[in-house]
Amino acid sequence: MRVGVLGSVEVWLDGERLSIGAPQQRCVLGVLALEAGEAVPLDRLIDCLWDDDTPRDARGLVHGYVYRLRKVLAPSGITIARTAAGYTLDVARDDVDLHRFRRHVRAREHREALALWRGDPLAGVTGTDVLARFRTALVEEMLAAVEEWADTELGRGQHREVLGELTALAADHPLREKLVALTMRALHLCGQQAEALQRFDRTRRLLADELGLDPGEELRSAHEQILRGAPAADAPRAPAPEPPRGASTLPFAVPDFTGRQSDLASLTAPPSGGTAVWAIDGMGGVGKSALAIHAAHRLADRYPDAQLYLDLHGFTPGRAPLDPSGALAALLGSLGVPADRVPVEAYQRELMWRTALADRRAVVVLDNAADEDQVRPLIPGAPDCLVLVTSRRRMVGLDGATPLSLDVLPAPDAVALFTAVAGDRPPGERAAVLEIVELCGGLPLAIRLAAARLRHRPQWIAEDLLDVLRTQQARLSGLGAVFALSYEHLEPERQRVFRELGGHPGKDFDAWAAAAMVGVSRSDARELLEDLLDDHLLEQKTRGRYEFHDLVRQYALTLVGRTATRGLLDYYLSVADHAADLLQPGRRRVELPPLEEPADVPPLSGNDSALTWYAAEHDNLVVLVEHAAAQGLHAHACGLSRDIGHYLMITHHVDDLLRTQEISAASARELGDPRQEWLSLHQLALTNYMACRYRAGLEHATRARAFGEASTLAVEGLLHHRLGDHRAALECHQTALEVAQREQDYRVSAICLANIGRTLVELGELDQARDHLEKALVRSREIGERNEEASNLTTLGTALSLLGRHAEALVSLRAGLALAEELGNVHYAVRGAIELADGLRLAGRAAEAESHARHAVEALGTGRVLDHLAEAHNALGSVLAALGDPAARRHHETALALAGQIEYRREAERATAALAHNPATGASQPE
């Protein structure tokens, strides 16, 4: 069974094409196939089917199309599932030609990938501008693959093989300069120099006539090579500068790594070409991770641009494997991509990941993988990368991977490892050491643990250790005997600490958290942790943080029989509450559940220290929200989700924000606490606002409005503002201000004053806007709310710009941007750059404004912050128009598409007005 979207939308079963039905049904099937296995919201299907003439019964019509599609698809075994999130085409992704195409591209199997294209994507369906954008994006993927393929083939001397395909595509896309340059190279290498030069002249004229642009560097370079008469493929090139060493997230390599020399030689041998992928498998404790990490450290000089490590948690006790989308977000973050630039859609993350590594020499360790499906999207397509995958399962379905199965250590290597950890042994102990490593099953983890016992018992000889190990082996089996050997020889206090720490549900912990969990001082906890580290019962992959090997954690859980103590949750809630106060001075307090105050807490004293703590504990806090709810500690779940919410918001971790707030809402309902229910609804409204899901946010805000809280009314106002109803927004903000002042909530009062000012700016009532914004600035400074101070400075600057008071405006705008950058508030910093660009343009300093507008566009990339991205493209479009640059139109068109996608009315109207005022050239733009 096959589903096709790379051409007409079709389904084949046993070689026969099924009759899908009307074009509308084909449209629904095509959109569902684009996200095979993932839910597609009903609203997105409606947007793809109808433009402004959406029928009143659109939802019913879609339900009907789905009903008929289910009947058509029934013989194939494909189903369409309905959930709260939308409709899901329940089909293996590899059964859809688009996803096979992407898999082949990742593996650099371009011929196989391009062979899947049958014509224009999603052909034969009726649809809207939204569907047209999908088609455009798919064609862009295809052209990028063609260019990669052609570049590679030309380098191999296969110029005649690619010329026909390039010529046809260049004719269809005459303004795509890279494609034209490749076509010129192919023509030149085929001896058609005149045609190659004519192609350049035609493209140069076309660029000038239609876009007012000169040819870019790649096109000019190809032209110059042909004029010089040098073969394009062999043209001399200046040596590329050695790229600087990039990010490294590799854990510490064990200093006493022993054995595996032939395996290590294989992993570190020069690759034969293309992305090298090794799939290392073996039983738990056999040393897969240690081998991969050791090899990656050895190869750092060969792969200087990045050395990355990611634990995929495929077999971590008590934790679900990391999904590919989350793994891609983590990997992009390791490369320095800000969270607000990471796209929402998994396939966009995959494309960004491949693009980010396209010109890098990087080694990537994907540790503890669950299966091939988890790993496949993470494999880059770059020719100069190495990927080391470890798993307890053999990755037989991972295309292009070289398998490496690890067996237990042979006796000589096992003895060498034992000696490296325990110290040299007298010759008379050799027989005992051989039996010890045999009882350890040749597993490096078990050997290290046993050797550590001997090292810490200097009065023992190897025979003493052997006697104890034999006794344990008679009582237990396998690794359990070795773990028991290490555990039972701990002092009672260390045994207790080991058991308690095993209940930590997160990834790792520091001495503060350990102290709270086991009930000792921080200094005592650190000493105990170091002892367990010396005993090889803990690992340290990051300075100051400790974690269990999965198998050791599993053993610890068999002893304690439970996870996270109430004391640990009390500790995290207490510290998170304090950190939230530091990030949001003057925030409205909410009563916490009864807590056992921890004796020692991190010395957080300001914005920076709070951000640092949140960054280190981010993953743990998200997991602990889930854990608290699962344990029935719903007040803790609500409290933790509330306290981490602002951090997740300003760092734009929207996925985690939605996840924790949804758990919080369910916990609030379990508690039957109206106050907690309001908080959850309020946070969901705010989170959806951040995620540009304005109508969903408005539904939550409307439900929360019944509680009469000022902050919810403020969020409702923000949502009305985005949807273009400024009068409704103003009413919400004014009512919110009255409530906040009545309740003497100074922080919310300051926010409401600022929101009224912003709305009055939109309504053109600039003098009133300035008055409210100046009051908001004073209030935010009085309560020490520096993030809001930064925001108020930039918005006041905008109002002053529109009033023509440009000198004052620029002082305020620059101060706001500088403060946001100092605080690390990515959200406000980008907005500040956009508003400064607008202010400079209005002051007649468009050339200076361009750098700020371009910075904002580049900083946002193609990520999830679509509201700011629309604003940035409009700002850059207006600046370029003021400079007479025809590229302005392209940026306004992009802004219009983005704003339309999320229903951001103001930016859509701004883009529409700019395009109508100036359909072709770069004349000045209206506001």
Residue 927, pLDDT > 60, answer: no
Average pLDDT on 22-41 reads: 91
In this structure, are 459 and 535 located in the same domain? no
CB of 640 within 8 A of CB of 628? yes
In this structure, are 301 and 190 located in the same domain? no
DSSP for 863-925 reads SS-HHHHHHHHHHHHHHHHHTT-TTHHHHHHHHHHHHHHHT-HHHHHHHHHHHHH-SSS-PPP
Q: Could you give the CA distance from residue 263 to residue 259 in angstroms, rounded to a whole number? A: 9
Evaluate whether residue 900 is within a structural domain: no
CB of 250 within 8 A of CB of 297? yes
- Backbone Cα Rg of the chain: 31
Evaluate whether residue 714 is within a structural domain: no
Average pLDDT on 296-312 reads: 92
Residue 1, pLDDT > 80, answer: no
What is the 3 state secondary structure string of 718-730? HHHHHCCCHHHHH
Average pLDDT on 262-286 reads: 85
In this structure, are 426 and 366 located in the same domain? no
What single-letter DSSP state applies at residue 243?
P
- Whichever domain contains 556, its CATH number is 1.10.10.10
Q: Could you give the CA distance from residue 372 to residue 391 in angstroms, rounded to a whole number? A: 10
In this structure, are 433 and 463 located in the same domain? yes
Expressed as residue numbers, the domain containing 197 is 158-234
Domain boundary among 429, 459, 488: 488
| Number of CB atoms found within 10 A of residue 82's CB | 12
pLDDT the model gives residue 863:
60
Q: Could you give the CA distance from residue 506 to residue 516 in angstroms, rounded to a whole number? A: 15
Evaluate whether residue 273 is within a structural domain: yes
Average pLDDT on 900-908 reads: 90
Task: Give me the count of residues in the chain.
Answer: 927
DSSP for 86-154 reads EEEEES-GGGBHHHHHHHHHHTT-HHHHHTT--SSTTBT----HHHHHHHHHHHHHHHHHHHHHHHHHH
Q: How confident is the model at residue 862 (pLDDT cuts 50, 70, 90)?
A: low
Please provide the distance, in angstroms rounded to a whole number, between the alpha carbons at the two ends of the chain: 54
Virtual CA dihedral for 881, 883, 884, 886, nearest 10 degrees? -60
718-756 b/e (C-beta count within 10 Å ≥ 16 → b): bbbbbbbebebbbbbbebbbebbeeeebbbbbbbbbbbb
Q: How confident is the model at residue 921 (pLDDT cuts 50, 70, 90)?
A: very low
Q: Could you give the CA distance from residue 278 to residue 32 in angstroms, rounded to a whole number? A: 34
Q: Could you give the CA distance from residue 370 to residue 377 in angstroms, rounded to a whole number? A: 13
Q: CA-based diameter of the chain, in Å?
A: 94
Q: Could you give the CA distance from residue 177 to residue 86 in angstroms, rounded to a whole number? A: 40
In this structure, are 84 and 200 located in the same domain? no
In this structure, are 331 and 431 located in the same domain? no
Nearest residue to 399 via CA among 92, 755, 137, 100: 100
Evaluate whether residue 398 is within a structural domain: yes
Place of tokens 């005149």: 194
Evaluate whether residue 375 is within a structural domain: yes
In this structure, are 387 and 316 located in the same domain? yes
Q: Give me the residues paired with residue 309 across strands.
A: 365
Average pLDDT on 29-33 reads: 94
**Tally of structural domains, the chain:** 6
In this structure, are 504 and 572 located in the same domain? no
Nearest residue to 202 via CA among 183, 230, 227, 229: 183
As to burial, measured by CB atoms within 10 angstroms (0-12 exposed, 13-18 middle, 19+ buried), residue 422 is: buried
In this structure, are 577 and 670 located in the same domain? yes
Residue 207, pLDDT > 70, answer: yes
Evaluate whether residue 816 is within a structural domain: no
Q: How confident is the model at residue 721 (pLDDT cuts 50, 70, 90)?
A: very high
In this structure, are 307 and 200 located in the same domain? no
Tell me the pLDDT of the chain averaged across its residues.
86
Domain boundary among 405, 439, 460: 405
Q: Is this model's pTM higher than 0.75 or not?
A: no
pLDDT the model gives residue 231:
42
Residue 191, pLDDT > 80, answer: no
Average pLDDT on 398-414 reads: 88
Nearest residue to 798 via CA among 813, 811, 782, 820: 813
Place of tokens 């508030």: 825
363, containing H or E segment: strand 362-369
In this structure, are 193 and 211 located in the same domain? yes
Average pLDDT on 659-677 reads: 86
Residue 103, pLDDT > 70, answer: yes
In this structure, are 399 and 287 located in the same domain? yes
- Whichever domain contains 401, its CATH number is 3.40.50.300
Question: Which tokens sit at 168?
Answer: 């046809």
Average pLDDT on 250-272 reads: 85
- Among 133-147, 363-377, 440-454, 894-908, the range with the most confident prediction by mean pLDDT is 363-377
pLDDT the model gives residue 765:
95
Residue 865, pLDDT > 70, answer: yes
Evaluate whether residue 391 is within a structural domain: yes
Residue 12, pLDDT > 60, answer: yes
Evaluate whether residue 895 is within a structural domain: no
Domain boundary among 218, 234, 250: 234
Virtual CA dihedral for 54, 60, 62, 68, nearest 10 degrees? -140
Q: Could you give the CA distance from residue 510 to residue 138 in angstroms, rounded to a whole number? A: 46
Q: How confident is the model at residue 284 (pLDDT cuts 50, 70, 90)?
A: confident
pLDDT the model gives residue 488:
77
pLDDT the model gives residue 240:
30
Q: Give percent of the chain with pLDDT exceeding 90.
A: 38
Q: Could you give the CA distance from residue 5 to residue 346 in angstroms, rounded to a whole number? A: 18
User: Would you say the C-alpha torsion 898, 724, 824, 322 has a positive or negative sign?
Assistant: negative
